Structures are given as structure tokens and as C-alpha cells.
Amino acid sequence: MATSSFPRFSNQDLRQHSFRLQDLQQATFVDCDLRGCNFQGANLTGATFIACRVGYSRQQLAISAILLVSAVMLMLHAISSMVFGALGQLPGRPAWPYVVALYIALAIAATSTGIQTIPFCYTRPFQRLMGASVGALVGFFYGGVLTEENLISAIVSAVFLGILGLWLTWRVHQTRMMALLTLMGAIATYGFAFVLGTTASDHLTIGLWGWGLVWAGLSIFYIGVTIRSVVVGWQLIQYSAVTSFRSANLTQCHFQKMDIRCCDTSEAIGLQIS
């Protein structure tokens, strides 16, 4: 009698295992531990899952949290240093063009970060813009710091990391990476809100109420964007540690005695939940 060539997994601990982009048609998973398992982009047409454990992997969540906290701290240091360094600079001074460039970069990062958190919206162009602008901001600051404020090195570093951020959001579709960039974008957004707030305060102090209220309204708006981005970033951190069926082909896939609502099924094909 011919034996089946379809993959079969039974009573196995597959936590944090990666089946990314693999062909698992008609595969069977019975009583397996799939917490933190990655099926991103896999072909699971006709596969069967019976009584499997899915959901969060504490180890994956801890790794994601450590990486993201480190990145956010670096971003916070960079943005706070640049923003406070720009305060008090006036038009006509040698540093003014760089202050303007900083504000433009912050505006791009803040706006693209906010838009890419909007659900049911085509956000990929804004994700790439967010990645490029966040990378450029980090590159400019640390490129200057590591070379004792050498301007050419800072610009080259900004261009390099900007291109890297663009490439990552274009080619590397990982939840953990998007969580990292979203939270770094949230820091840039808060920096931009702070700049708008100080501008509003300056106008209100000298009695320019119209422009002062405009800048104040924009500052409050971007504070809201900051909060929204932090919430989305935290959700992405959680998604990065759960069983992921992101972009997988789940056509005629059967799930028995298990609840996949705690899994990441975003962009999955053919998913049917009874």
C-alpha cells in the first residue's frame, strides 16, 4: 500500500518554528504546540489542524520587547537631542537650513507614521516613506555623533539609513520590523508635536492668536497621532509573538478543536472561520 507523501506532525513541540513560504498542502497537525510558530506566506491549502495550541510565545514576546525597547531608546535620544538643539535657532544663522531640514523630516515621519496606522487604507507607500524618514533621522544624528559632528558623515549616514529603511519596508514584511518602525515613528511624531507646541507658545506669547491657535491645534492633533501609533506599535509587538498565518494560503484549511482568533491571520487567503 502506498503511503501518503503529505507532511504530518503529531504531538510535536513546534514553538517558534518557522514554516515561512513552505509548501504544506494537505499537511496535518495533530495535538501540536504551535505557539509563536510562523506560517507566513506558506501554502496550507487543504491542511488540517486538530487540537493544536496556538497563541503567544513568551520567549518571542520577550525578544521582541527587548529589541524594540532598545530601538525606541536610541530613537528617543536622537529626537530629543536634535529637537532641543534646534530650539532657539533663528533664520539667518548658519544652522538654520539644517533646522528647517529637521522639521521637514519630522513632519514627513509624523504624517506617514499616522497614515500607515489607519485601518482599511492602502498604506504601503506611507510605510516606505515612514521607514525612509525614520532611518534618515537616526542616521543623521548618530552619523554626526560618531564622527564628532562631521556634517558630511552625518549626511552620508542619513542617506544610507534612509535607503535601508525604505528597503526594509519594501522587501522585508515582518511584523516585528513594522512594530519597531511604528514605535520609532511615534517618537518622531511626538518630537514634531513638541516643535509645533513651542511654535504655538511663541505666537500666543506675542499676541498672534490666530496662528498660535493653528499651531496649537496641529500640536494636539499630532499628540493624538503619537498615541495612536504607540497603540498600533504595541499591537504589532503582540502579533510578532503569536502564531502567524499572515499572507498564508488557507484555502480549504480545516481547524478543529482550536481557536485561531488569537493568531495573526492578516492578509491570509481563503480563510473561513465557522
pLDDT digits (tens, 9 = 90+) for 75-116: 999 999 999 988 888 888 888 888 999 999 999 999 999 998
Range of the domain at 256: 1-56+243-274
pTM: predicted TM-score of the whole model, two decimal places: 0.82
Domain co-membership, 46 together with 165? no
Determine the pLDDT at residue 151: 86
Whether residue 32 sits in one domain with residue 1: yes
63 and 50 belong to one structural domain: no
Asked whether the predicted pLDDT for residue 264 surpasses 90, the reply is: no
Examine the domain organization and report whether 65 and 49 are in the same domain: no
b/e burial code for range 218-250 (CB count within 10 A of at least 16 → b) = bbeebbebbebbbebbeebbebbbbbbbbbbbb
155 in the same domain as 66: yes
Quick one: 11 and 70 in the same domain?
no
Average pLDDT, the chain: 89
Residues 29 and 62 in one domain: no
Q: What is the mean pLDDT of the segment spanning 254-259?
A: 89
User: What pLDDT, on the 0 to 100 scale, is given for residue 273?
Assistant: 66
Query: Is 135 in the same domain as 168?
Result: yes
Domains held by the chain: number: 2
Cross-strand partners of 256:
50
At 4, which CATH number? 2.160.20.80
Same domain, 173 and 85: yes
pLDDT of res. 3: 47
Residue pointed to by grid coordinates 499591537: 235
pLDDT > 70? residue 174:
yes
pLDDT (mean) for 240-257? 89
Mark whether 86 and 3 lie in a shared domain.
no
Percentage above 70 pLDDT, the chain: 97
Contact 83, 191 (CB under 8 A): yes
Per-residue pLDDT band at 274 (split at 50, 70, 90): low
C-alpha span between 117 and 218 (Å, rounded):
18
| 23 and 93 co-located in one domain | no
pLDDT the model gives residue 2:
44
pLDDT over threshold 90, residue 156 = yes
pLDDT at 18 over 60: yes
| 127 plus 7 within the same structural domain | no
Please state, in angstroms and rounded to a whole number, the distance separating the CA atoms of residues 160 and 152: 12
Q: Is the pLDDT of residue 175 over 70?
A: yes
